[in-house]
Structure 1
């Protein structure tokens, strides 16, 4: 099974200049916790997560009108549509992330693979291992995507 088989295709995206409020509205409207951030050419330049909004915007007293680029995560871990699901799991585990943007050959976001996608399609052992590894506290995890 490959990323293309489990990913959410064509996710809602925002631009770096969009407001945090607009990104949050996209999260609500699409029932998700991460929005890919793309430039004018559609290239993936970052992601904004609900955690980014809480830690880098709200906790720091910034307004809802703050541009996404000020609080987004720009060190990206991505996969291609032909990545095997076990490779997706390994990347999530190694980087302790719950979602992976899927990019095409031109670097454009064409999907997202989440823990939930894997839980719906992978076997129970693989899913349990993924959740355990991603959730394990490490020094790196304590600082990624926050304050």
Structure 2
């Protein structure tokens, strides 16, 4: 059973909540990612996604200098360093998320993406179940 530490990315680009959505978008473009953890003083405060920028700012006629804090997602789900890759896949499937920030002692230490789990000898079945559950429409809305 693989630990999450074997799968996660530890060199994670982050932004602070007082940076602008323009800065976040520039980092996303530069690093070819669709989301960035929002970290203030080492603590995970939220996550900003390209979808957050589009739906909560651009679609509303927002300004590129809007602070990230006004558009970021704060209903966070995170994992911990002692969990297995399979546990992470279950959490991701349950919450229908593709990226799981990994926290230790209230500090962001990494992030794991669905693709990371699939490429790190995790059981194909567990990765498939996670992807199936993530790809299904959310039944609570």
Common fold, TM-score beyond 0.5? yes
Deviation at 1:85, TM superposition (A): 0.8
Give the deviation of 1:10 after TM superposition: 2.9
Correspondence for 1:23: 24
Cα separation, 2, equivalents of 1:33 and 1:5: 22
User: Given the two structures, how large is their TM-score scaled by the length of structure 1?
Assistant: 0.89
What secondary structure does 1:38 align onto? strand
Contact conserved, 1:10 with 1:109, CA < 8 A, in 2?
no
Per-residue displacement from partner, 1:76-122 (whole Å, max 9, x unpaired)?
Answer: 100112211111011111111110101111x1111111111111112
Q: 1:139 to 1:64 in 2, by over 3 A?
A: farther
Task: Give secondary structure in 2 for the equivalent of 1:113.
Answer: strand
Unaligned runs of 5+ in 2: none
Shift in Å, 1:53: 1.0
Moved over 4 A (4+): none
Q: Which residue of 2 aligns with 1:6?
A: 7
Equivalent in the alignment of 1:119: 118
Partner of 1:145: none
Q: For the residues of structure 2 that align with 1:55 and 1:132, how far apart are their CA atoms? A: 25
Matches of 2:49 and 2:87 in 1, distance apart?
22
Q: For residues 24-39 of structure 1, what are the structure 2 equivalents within 5 Å?
A: 24-39=25-40
Which residue pairs with 1:71 in the alignment? 71
Deviation at 1:139, TM superposition (A): 3.6
| Root-mean-square deviation over aligned CA pairs | 1.2
